[in-house]
Amino acid sequence: MKNKSNLMLLSVLLGGLLFTFLFWEERLALNLLVYSIYLFVSTFINPDVVKSTKLKIYGLAHLLAAVLVVINNSDLSVATYYISLLLFIGFGHHQQIRTIFTAFLAAILQMLTAPFNAIKHLSQISIGNVSLKPVFTLIKYIFIPIIIVIIFSCLYAAASDVFAHYAEAILTSIGNFLDNVFHFFFKDLNFDRIIHFCFGLALTAGLLLTFFDKSLEKAELKCKEQLIRMRRSLGQKTIWYNVVETFTGNLLTRKMALKTEYIVGIISFAALNLLLLMLNTIDITTLWFGYEPSGNFSGELHQGTNSLIFSIVMAMAVILYYFRGNLNFYHKSKTLRLLAYTWMVQNFILIISVFIRDGYYIEFHGLTHKRIGVLVFATLCIIGLATVYFKVARQKTIFYLFKVNGNIWFALLLTFTLINWDVLIVKYNLNHVDAVAIDPYYLTSLSEKTLPILDKNRAKIHPSKNNDSEIAKVDQPEEALMRKLDQRIGYFKERYSQQSWLSWNLQDWNTAEYFGLNK
């Protein structure tokens, strides 16, 4: 046990040193990949971690996300990196967890409890015959009251300006005193760098030291994927039953039989099918074939798309409500299932209408992140409907839906990260500049990886002559727009000349190569 603790504490110390070396005054790029490789190796040499197939899959997925940060260096790739890191850590230290949502929560919990985990490991170290456990037990007694005092001080400061003034003065005095003491003993060391190292130490400890409490893991193990018919006695009442009874009175105490719920479901799905049939008929006749934009075209499509997506999400929620329990086992539920399947098909048709609306939007107003987001969300709705169908047909639980959809969403997140969206948006809009009413200010506000494309197509960065849309009108002269582009290019050249190999990424290198900065 002592050797295990010493190994992990040494890994944490080296990780803190590596963190401050890699990330001090650097951009997130190649350094993330190096840090991830270190975490990957440290996790796999940890004797407490079971090297399962699931851990290897999520570990490789995290390394792929780190590589994509180096290749694409986009906000999406960085977000994917952090998500994949937390999932890798969550599954690594809690291998019986089955959903990415629980793994994400477990990783967050482990990060928050890093100080306690570190104290637990440090208390197991002995120097000769002297044990450090009493020392760290005393620290544990002091640490918790300090945290409580800090929390309540923040609350009191928010409630009283006078208290906040005195608290700020006290903290400033303490900070100045510690700064003077530090500089007196360590003149050649940077205090900010020490703080950065401590942060890296705490972060690495949170990622490598396993949280000793397994309550979250045990709670998830109680969740089942297959529905089981539950027979509840008349005298047995759940907490949810008591809460609803408070607001409904004797309406709930008049036993709502399964047959009654079945009839209510039949009426609800029949009415909803008729309602959605009217909407789909209108969309097919007016939107699918021979659509011509008129009036407030942009606002109409935007508002309609948002409403349709929300309705699809609500549709899945209604289906999950009716097929949440014993109605799945009712011997006359065939008609209800048929109506639910019909409504799923109609919602799939509704999703096609969403794709068509967004397609028209892109055709007339160009490609943007929000319009791509609509396509992504519509795709997720299709996947959600498919899994809801499988849940109803195979009598699965909602936990099953979370498990399957979570894995699919994460796989799609990695897939979408493979695409360089900013470059795709700029290339598409500039290649269709004669037909699309582009927004030049939006294009010139995208990431620096688009600068070479914008610089080569300066003549195209203006409103389309064939479109009088408000979004395509430039309020300032075209010269001002070119100055803005030149300023961004100048800023990139200055930044690139100052960064080290730790901030290297392929997109910056390509941009620098175009402007002749690589030597």
**Mind listing the pLDDT tens digit for each residue in 155-199?**
888 888 888 888 888 888 887 887 777 676 666 667 778 888 888
Which residues partner with 127 through β-bridges?
A: 130
Q: Please provide the distance, in angstroms rounded to a whole number, between the alpha carbons at the two ends of the chain.
A: 53
Closest CA to 207 of 59, 338, 64, 407: 59
State the alpha helices, DSSP H only, in 186-287.
191-208, 215-221, 239-248, 250-253, 258-283
> Could you report the per-residue pLDDT of 256-273, keeping only the tens digit for each?
566 777 777 788 888 888
CB 111 within 8 A of CB 207: yes
State the SS3 of 490-514. Answer: HHHHHHHHHCCHHHCCHHHHHHHHH
User: What's the whole-number mean pLDDT along residues 122-151?
Assistant: 67
Tell me the pTM: 0.81
CA distance 370 to 59: 31
Q: What own/partner pairs with CB < 8 Å and gap ≥ 24 does 290-296 have?
A: 291/356, 291/360, 293/360, 293/364
- Over residues 4-38, the pLDDT tens digits come to 556 777 888 899 899 999 998 889 999 999 999 99
pLDDT, averaged across the chain: 80
Higher pLDDT, 136 or 317: 317
pLDDT (0 to 100) of residue 314: 81
470: pLDDT confidence band, cut at 50, 70 and 90? Answer: very low
